[in-house]
A and B are shown apart, each in its own frame.
Chain A
């Protein structure tokens, strides 16, 4: 009887799963999964590389910031520990190169002034409509949370394996892939006007023109100025922008894990000691009051 039931379970689940298998084939053509990159912030002890974040910030400042806002970040964040770790003076100097709107002044007028370290990054466009009008209808997303707001479906069983490998870099991998994903469209692909073919963009028609090319941004630390490297650096910077407390989280996490493991170990031996008599002499009455 038990065997019959096991067979029945297998049949039931098998029927369910084979149904799902045939399905994957007929679903709309999905872009390939972004290739996984090596990230300094991967794993239980992985932290941001401040040099990489500074390079990524340089790309943001020289290229991305022409269209993409970074509304949730302030210039002071550039000097935060666990970030690009510019000095306070450097962060203030960077802030001063941006013009921010302030006011109203004594005459009731809004005015422009150089940015201060306490200011948020000013947006490149006054509002959504201004951005769309300037960019042929497309709206560049705000970049503050971009690395956490983008992902891709790896499917079963990878999403379970991810929990054990601590893989949480879907966003940066996707951003790197998009930057490197501008290839010639395959024959027969009808490209909607005003879009560019991108291998990794869902639907392959992205409104953003290829944003970077090799050698476009000058590195002063000898890092190769390739598109692949640019993609990795700017994606790491955007990961920091969306998850600025990652270093603090992993450092505290290690302390908490050590504490919990030791404490739970002590509780285990306490439990063993208290239950010793109950388990060794089950025929005896146990004391009911301490």
Chain B
């Protein structure tokens, strides 16, 4: 990117530092002078919100780890001890547990934004794939964290999910025994889940660095999907993006605090306040809400192995979006058909989430199969075909032209302004 003003260290210490470790100029070029498109909307603030949530989860998690005991006989009571006897322990745990939900809510919005505005397309493929890896790491970390309180749902979720690997031919049962560290979910399982739950967030933080690095290499996408061409198209990261992100982190925190302080158990399952009991299966085993769409896909397929494959594919497929989408136009605002099909996909995922929370009987199974079929059809059929069939709306020549209004757009492209509403 052109137009980076160089960093001029002011203090003697920073001048001294600059010749040895140029951390000042790195921070300056990445988070101050870095040009961001001027037309970014609030959907773009969720990247910053996600960084904030990662920090919140690590800080609360490290303190919780000081009071938690990873042993099948002590884990449940140690969590209750945090809730009852540790100073502000109830607050730490409710922030951490609700925080997991809000982390996932933010990542789903972030992914949906990337899909809507075509942020996965050339040259942002690596940035996008790193994002899919981050999502996978979050899924694994969140699952292991849910097991730690060792309530009924913790235990049975661990049993059901690890058992999925038993569907693999030949090696399946060996893998499950290896994962458990025994012949059933037990103390070795809890110990390793705890160890990994502590490790993975730092791996996530490392991949976030790569994700941000890739982002700063290619620059941010924007609602028009047209790359910035001149300085008119961009504003400096600080103060423009910083203050906008900070404001929306504040809005996000208000909703987050509402859940923490007023309905902290709303997103939790009541069965998880019953200590784990291997000899009593709960009536309905359901995962946390943020896994429900994938759980619905898993159960929609009558064959266990194929169900597990569908579950894996439903996430991995995202990494292939840059090549499945054949259209050169990024933003859904200029792709009327893609926009419709994508909004249907979002509704389908929410529908799958609801179905995942219900018992898999009768009409629910048929509904889940219909929606699962649409989910995969979107990626394997609709996405490749649309690029060939769809006639996109005329794109603005530049970001500033789209900001300045349609009159300029019509004059420049020689086409009448499109009447499409946004």
Interface on A for B, CB 8 Å cutoff?
A: 1-2, 5-6, 8-9, 12-13, 15-23, 26-27, 44, 72, 77, 141, 144-145, 148-151, 156, 162-163, 166, 168, 170-171, 202, 242, 244-245, 248-250, 252-254, 256-257, 260-261, 263-264, 267-268, 270-271, 274-275, 278, 282-290
Contact = CB atoms under 8 A, between A and B. Distances in A.
B253 interface: yes
A245 to B, nearest CB: 4
Nearest to A288: B236
B270 A257 contact: no
B208 interface: no
The 3 lowest CB-CB distance pairs between A and B, nearest first, are A253-B261, A19-B363, A264-B250
A274 B344 contact: no
A5 B236 CA distance: 40
Interface string B222-256: 00000000011011101110011011001101100
Most buried by A among B231, B238, B239, B347: B239
B381 interface: no
Given A168-B263, A271-B243, A271-B247, 9 more contacts: A13-B347, A19-B363, A23-B363, A166-B263, A264-B251, A264-B254, A270-B243, A278-B240, A290-B238
Contact of B358 (A20, A149, A289): A20
Contact of A23 (B35, B77, B271, B364): B364
A98 B234 CA distance: 73
B370 interface: yes
Indicate the size class of the contact surface on chain B: 35 or more
Contacts of A145: 80, 273-274
B362 A149 contact: no
Interface in B1-34: 3, 5, 32-33
A17 B347 CA distance: 12
A72 B254 contact: no
13 contacts: A2-B336, A5-B344, A15-B367, A16-B351, A23-B361, A168-B262, A202-B283, A249-B91, A253-B260, A264-B250, A271-B247, A282-B38, A282-B404
Contacts, number: 178
A267 B84 contact: no
B265 A274 contact: no
B264 interface: yes
Given A8-B344, A9-B344, A253-B261, A20 B273 contact: no
Contacts of A248: 90
Given A1-B337, A162-B266, A285-B232, A257 B258 contact: yes
Nearest to A168: B263
Most buried by A among B3, B261, B266, B371: B261
Contacts of B234: 286, 288
A163 to B, nearest CB: 6
Contacts of B361: 23, 26-27
A249 B261 contact: yes
A245 B355 CA distance: 35
B41 interface: no
B223 to A, nearest CB: 14
Contact of A274 (B94, B239, B343): B239
Given A8-B344, A27-B359, A283 B374 contact: no
A77 B358 CA distance: 39
Given A20-B364, A253-B260, A267 B247 contact: yes
A20 B235 contact: no
B386 to A, nearest CB: 12
B366 interface: yes
A249 B90 contact: yes
B341 interface: yes
Given A19-B366, A144-B80, A250-B262, A289 B273 contact: no
A274 B242 CA distance: 11
Given A2-B336, A8-B344, A149 B364 contact: no
B56 interface: no
A119 B5 CA distance: 67
Contacts of B271: 149
Contacts of A287: 236
A46 to B, nearest CB: 10
A163 B266 contact: yes
Nearest to A260: B254
B362 A274 contact: no
Contacts of A168: 262-263, 265-266
